[in-house]
Amino acid sequence: MEKLLKMITEELLKHLVLESVHPEDPIEVRNVPEPWVLLGSGNYAAVLCHPDYDKYAVKIYAPGRPGLAEEVEVYRRLGTHPAYAELYHAGPDFLVLKRLRGVTFYDCMKRGIPITDQAIRDIDEALKYATSRGLHPHDVHAKNVMTQDGRGLIVDVSDFLKQEDCTMWDDFKKAYTRLYRPIASLWLFPVPRPVLEMVRKGYRLWRRRQS
């Protein structure tokens, strides 16, 4: 771990370029130094790994984006659970986490990979567990949950301290039950990214009108 932390501070942080263009959009990753690999990015941070330490995921918060201290508290409360990552180290602007391997539900739909009922049940159970630990699951959607070997994992817990209600996961389950499962049982096909993005933006607009 000590060597990895040295590589993060002396190599990754010095050359990684993250930009926060718009507060409602994911951050933009402008440069990733070799041999680091970008695993993904979200509204607050980018997640990377080093090939020599591929059991770890390093989450780097973009300048000006809040939430690191809150995420540390979330992982403290979660402890050890099979559907969540574990926090190994917290730096001033980065976290070192257990790397979760799988495919996000979003990419499953994009690539035509089936999302199982078991994965949905796993997410439900994991969210109930988080609630029992004094957390308030928030922002749980298709890009923040994954499936691995048919089981469900929750990738992003950074908003689990927020107190306002969030219906994203319940809305996704309704769409899964009423649309995805009936169609996928007959014909499982890749959904083009522009279509998924159109649905995502349409859903965001619909939620704003409901609030």
Q: Is the separation of the CB atoms in 39 and 51 below 8 Å?
A: no
DSSP 135-167: -------TTTEEEETTEEEE---TTTT--S---
Tell me the C-alpha distance between 100 and 56, whole Å: 9
Q: Is the separation of the CB atoms in 114 and 103 below 8 Å?
A: no
Of the residues 93, 107, 124, 139, only one is catalytic, namely: 139
Tokens of 184: 């996928």
Q: Is the separation of the CB atoms in 77 and 85 below 8 Å?
A: no
Our answer to whether residue 139 is catalytic in this structure is: yes
Tokens of 189: 């096909």
Q: Is the separation of the CB atoms in 62 and 46 below 8 Å?
A: yes
**Going by C-beta distance under 8 Å and a sequence separation of 6 or more, which residues neighbour residue 159?**
67, 138, 139, 166
Tokens of 120: 């949905």
Catalytic residues: 139
